[in-house]
Every structure is written in structure tokens, then in C-alpha cells.
A and B are shown apart, each in its own frame.
Chain A
Amino acid sequence: MYVAVKGGEAAIDAARAWLAEERRGDPAVPELTLDQIREQLGLAVDRVMAEASLHDPDLAALALKQAQGDVIEAVFLLRAYRTTLPRFAGSLPVDTADMAVERRISATFKDLPGGQILGPTYDYTHRLLDFALAAEGGAVPVAPQATPGEGAMPRVLELLVGEGLMEREVPPEDESGPVPDLTREPLSFPAGRPLRLQSMARGDEGFLLSLGYSTQRGYGRNHPFAGEIRQGEVSVEVEVPELGFAVDIGDIVLTECQSVNQFKGDATRPAQFTRGYGLVFGRGERKAMAMALVDRALRAEELGEAVQGPAQDEEFVLSHADNVEASGFVQHLKLPHYVDFQAELQLVRALRAKALKEAAE
């Protein structure tokens, strides 16, 4: 006699306890501290903060620890926490032109005001496993110090604007107006560029990377140059109504990418360059670049270009960029579907019986 599977509650408790054990690993190995994760797995921390849309390195480190290093699970943990936080205020727009730059490169000009600054990049490392790192306690050689440049570091694309070669970014007429927030309002289509950028800033890096790549391979080609990539600290300012002026509430690290893209012009506009824009929390250069490619691809309709690739399709990109949504829905297939499957079984049996009967006749 079949005994219905009972005891779901006990099984869930046991699974949780087992998970906690797995997370800790071999108790003979010292436990990771949040400081270690924050300081030594900084790029993972940055990615979790970016895709969770919450700038808090300590909580991101905690989420990574709790998730055993599973980035999407950590993003989910941090998002579920973020959603419970009250909103005190909106910040003023951050000024990336005023960034304390640690890295700034342009692929469009050999030299330019402010210079090219490589910063802490993997770009020119040879990807050879460094077995010296396997031995603990090795001292890190001190990086040479340079004197910071005196001059300003204007944004590269602005250098082209003066000549009319680059489209002008026009700020909205009323910058004090409410910023759309896709975590507080349901997304509807067409969404428009502010919401597109917002969605991509928190979207999955892998998804944007592949979509950006697809534009380079002909699915919505848009002829990009990496006009400028800059990375560093910017200050976040909030206007306090009682005070009547803006207060600096702290610094955050951002990566910004502005691409320079061709635009052949049309009846009303002569040929000029257009831009794609990417901005992410932390040191997220790969994602910022991919985001700039996809941002530009999504402007196809606005610029009168044929929409041929998935990266140019706003509803496609925005509906599928979120890894917490995607992860949940893909994995919900693990939930029981006995009832639906039973209904399908009955249907297929009925269809087969009918076909077999007809074949016999």
C-alpha cells in the first residue's frame, strides 16, 4: 500500500541543517571572516552589490559567505534584504567627471587631457596560475607610487561634443523630478532609456555580456569604440530639505563606460557619433562595457535603425536581464507539477487511444 509522502517539515529542517554543515566545510579549516571576503574577494563583492542594487560591501560579503560563493544566490539574499529598507531620499546625480579616478582609458585617442591611467587591471597580466599565491603569508611587493596629475580629466566624449561630432546628452528639463524606480513601479513597455539603464545596471552580467557580444557578431551591429572607461570613487550627495543644501553622505566606487558609435545620419540629422552608456557599482568593467553596447543597441528605434537582433529589442532585454527572476523561474520547475502532469497524461492517453483506434479501423 502506498503511503503518502509525509514529513515535509522534518525533511526541510534536516536539509537546512545539512546545508549549514556543507557551508562551513571542514571544521578543521579556519572559518572565513567577512573582512577577508570583503578585502580579498572584492570583485565578487562588487558584482553582488551591483546586481543587488545595494551598495554595502559588508552585507555583500555576508551574502557571499552565506551563499557559499554562489553569486546569484548572494544577489538574491541582498535583494531580499534591500526590499525591506525604507527610502530616506534620492541622491543628486553623481558627477563622474569629478571622479577620484584610479583607472581611465580611452581607445579612441592615443593621448588626451588627464592621460591614460591603467590602474589595477588584469588586462596585461598573463593568465598563468601563480603558485606563489598558493603559499600563504607571502608579502605583496609595494606598488610604485606616482604623483597624481595636476590637470583636470575631462570626459573624452565631451571633447567631441564641441565640434558637433558627438550627439549632445541633454539633461531632462526638470532634474528634481522623481527618478523612475523599477523596484517600486511595475515595468511597462516601451520603458524608455532611464529605465533601460536602470534595469541593465542591476541585470545579470553574463546575460549582458552575451547580448553585447551578439551585437559585435552582427545581431544588431552598431560599430562601437571604447570612447572612455573610467573607474574610481565619486561622492554621493543628498539634499536635505531642512538645510537647503547638499550634504556629502559618502563615497562609492563606480565603473563607467561610454562608447562611441557610428550614426549615418538621416533626413533631419547629419552624420555624427552617438553613444552607449554603461555604469555599474564597483569595479565592473566587463559589465559596464557590455551594458554600453546593449544600451546603444536598444537605441536602434530612436535612431531609425532596423531592429534585427535580440539586443535591440527592449522588451526582450528588459524582461530577461534580471538573474533573480530568471533563476527563480527556471528553478521553479523543481516544484511539484503532479497535477498538471497528471492532466497531461490523461490527455496524451486519450489522444493515443483515439489514434490507435482509428488506425485499427
Chain B
Amino acid sequence: MNRAPTPLLRFENVSRRFGPVTALDRVTLDVRAGEIHALLGENGAGKSTLMHVAAGLEQPDAGELWIDGQPREIDSPRAAATLGIGLVSQHFALAPALSAEENYELVCRAGRRLYRRRDLEHRLERDGRVHGLRIPSRRPVGELAVGDQQRLEILKALGTESRILILDEPTAALTAHEFEELASVLRRWRKTGRAVVFISHKLEEVLALADRITVLRRGAVVGERIPGDTDATELARLMIGETLPPPLERTQSKPGPVRLRIENLRAERDVGPPLEIPSLTIRGGEIFGVAGIDGNGQQELFQVITGERQSEAGLLEMDGEDRLQADVSQRAARGLGAIPADRHRHGLILAMSVAENLWLRGIPGDRRDLRPRWLRWLPGTLSRRRLVEAAAPVLAEFGIRGEAAAPVSELSGGNQQKVVLARELSREPGVLVAHNPTRGVDVLGARFIHEKLLDHRARGSAIVLISTDLDELLRLSDRLAVLVAGRWRELPPEDRDRDVLGRALGGRLSGGGDG
């Protein structure tokens, strides 16, 4: 029998610790020429860390990397590039103020020391055509669609003649159509004898795209499968170490009184046509889903409801009272809860403790109990220790794994999101607006968040759920609208369908036609 060919890239017993946390535990993994290799695992399973080791961004504490059968040291991104390893990180390594051709030149340095713009544009276009990746030039990259930015990142990796292309969660922000395009580029590329490593936590896309799947859990390899010999259930079990709970049951909604009413609302956006909502009425006990790719007015809708952004015209009522002129704190005081999309920038103060973050919006109950013992007589004082003690039951209720006294930045992404959720929900908001509440959260964490949202719906909250995740929307929402290029359209109940939604998101607001 033939021995297996030498792998392009081999990790041998690679370990990496961050303080007390073991991120990688003796990982051994082969990446072969001509394959699309999926690395599957929950958030925090070590997928990204492993690939950062290969890309020279992290150094292993133990273990070796082999390239073409030779042990190699990869101590910088430059070393990785020399060995033909290209990484397309989850957070793109692009300079947003620079144009696509400038970003491309930054990496390939094919031009002269003093260049002409035309030459850069020409090279971008030519190389893009070779690989089937069209990218608009001349405009700042930050203004391009996420799909364009990703194509540029891939072209950058290809332009430096990578033999191993690593894609970290490449589909997080792509539409279904863009995913198909990406898949065909990768399949074409695989044929040239190179390899793709593709990091994901989405079972369906891994099964659709990969030739081989390695599953990581808590920093260790727990299984290797071929798509034909496995299924989503088995992969999920490997990923989370237990069987998935049965699908969530959404009970019949019992609509209560109108809690949020918006009429003829109009708000400027930073880019693109303004956000316009002709009419939106949400009753207590309803979840209203807003579908659409971010950048189509999602952020603005969120901000208009929370009061962070002024609307130019229209009507906005909460519980029957005009709140159009009310500012953020007034709206919050009248029972508005908000879960922002970017928990790091808008949801949490990372350097502050978990307990302090929980009480950012105010402290329920008798505050005198929270004063330090020796300052009991002084209003306004707070005891660090008592704050931490008061946080304990909340941490338990929301299953937050972490120390209440520790900085919230030390928590995993999922637990951080639960801190935001706990803070907003423990205020029992009458209206809750949530933007991508489960982004970057693992399966069990997302499931927990969904349960909590449904729980609050049952208790009479009106919930606006702005999300890019169609499955999430279809599972939770009582009613649905799409938001494309600032334009709002509510979907009739019979259109609750993945395909119809997908078509609507492609910019087609009228149903029918060929997709």
C-alpha cells in the first residue's frame, strides 16, 4: 500500500497556554495538498489560535510545525508568507482608508518604489481576473461591501503565492449568494494542488464545502471525519461534547397591548439612502424580526429606537406615550432594553468588572445595602465587595462562567454577551431591541439566549430582533420584515420561508421571479 503523501502542513503536538487557560492541548493535524480542510468547533475551542500559530501570529509553547515534511519555525507573519501560508483573518487585515489597489500593493509590492496609480489599478484588475475575483478599485476599502473586502483579502493571499490558504470564519457576514461564489473560488483553487483550511462553527456549510473535517473541543482534537461518513448530529455532538437539546418550542403568541409604535419614521444614514419606516406596531408578547445584511440600516434602526440617533420626522411611541424627543437615558428609564451588536464597543466597558458592568444601567433594590459598612451613613457610596456579592445570583441565573470581581474582558465572548443580556433583561424591559444577539456565541450559548428572549416574550415584552441570521429569525419571530438599503418591508405570514427571505435580501422587494 502507498503511504499517504507528505502533508503540506503538519501540526505535531502543538500546545499553547494563555495564563491559566489551555488554548491548545497537544494538537496534531495534517493538511494535505488539494483538499479543503474544515476546522470545526465552538467559539473558544482553539481553532483561531491554532491557525494563528501557523500564520506566525502566536508562538506555540510546545510542539512543532512541519511544512513539506520539514520542521519549521514560524515566528512572524513574514516567515509564514515566505513558507506560503496565507491567513484571511475574521477581522480583515485591510487598511480601510486606502483603496483596494493600494491594499493589494501593500502586500505584493510588485510595483516600483515610486508608482503610478494606474499601474496599481491595472495589476489589481489583472490578478483579480486570473482568480475570478472582481474588486472595485479607487474607493476606500472601508466603503466596500464585506464580500468585496473578503475577496480582496483572498486575492492578497493568492497574490503572495500562498500554497496554504487559511480562512477564519469566512462566511460570518456573507449572503447565501456570496457564499456560493466563495465556494466556487475555493474549489477551483484546490484543483491546483494547494490547500484550504476553513474555520467554522456552522455545520451545514462545513458539510457542503469540506473534503475533510477536524473537530476541536477545548483546545484538543476530538475527531476527524469525511463529510460522506458523518452528519450534522454527529458533528454537533463532537463539537459540544453532548447531544444537542431538541429544537426550541415557540409557543403561540398572546399579543397584549401595543408597546412600540412607529409611523413615517425617517433618519439619515452615514452612507446610502436614509432609513425609512412607514409603519411598525409591536404588541407585548411579540418578537418582531428584522432581516437583512448589516449596513442596510440595521445599525440606524437600532439607534433610532434606543435614542442614540435622531430621526428627522415621524412618530415613535412606547406604551402609548410619545418618546420621539426622549434621549437615551429617558427611554431606558421608561423600560427600554437594548442589546447592541458590538458588545465590545457599545455593550460593555471591558476594563471594568463583571459586577460593575451588570449595574451600569442602575442598581435595583435598596442601595443602602450596597454601601461599605464604614460609610453606611454616606449616600452614593458603593462597596466593591457588596456589588460583587449582589452579582452572584444574576451570574447563577444566566449561567455566566466567570468571576464577578474580574474584568469583563477576561470572559469568553459568549459569557460577555450573557452579561449584556443579564443586565438588560433583569431590568424587565417592556420593549427590548436586540441586534445580532448571538453573533460569535457558541451553539449552547445561543440556545440559552434564545430561550431567554422567548421567556421575556411570554412575560409580555415587545422584542425587536435585528439579525443577519435567518435561522434565528425564522425560529423566534412572530412577524418579519426585511431592511434593504434603508427600505423597510413587512412580509406577509405566508412568506415566512428561507428562500423568499433570501430573495428579498438580495434587494428584490417584490416576490416571485426567478432567484
A, B from the same assembly? no
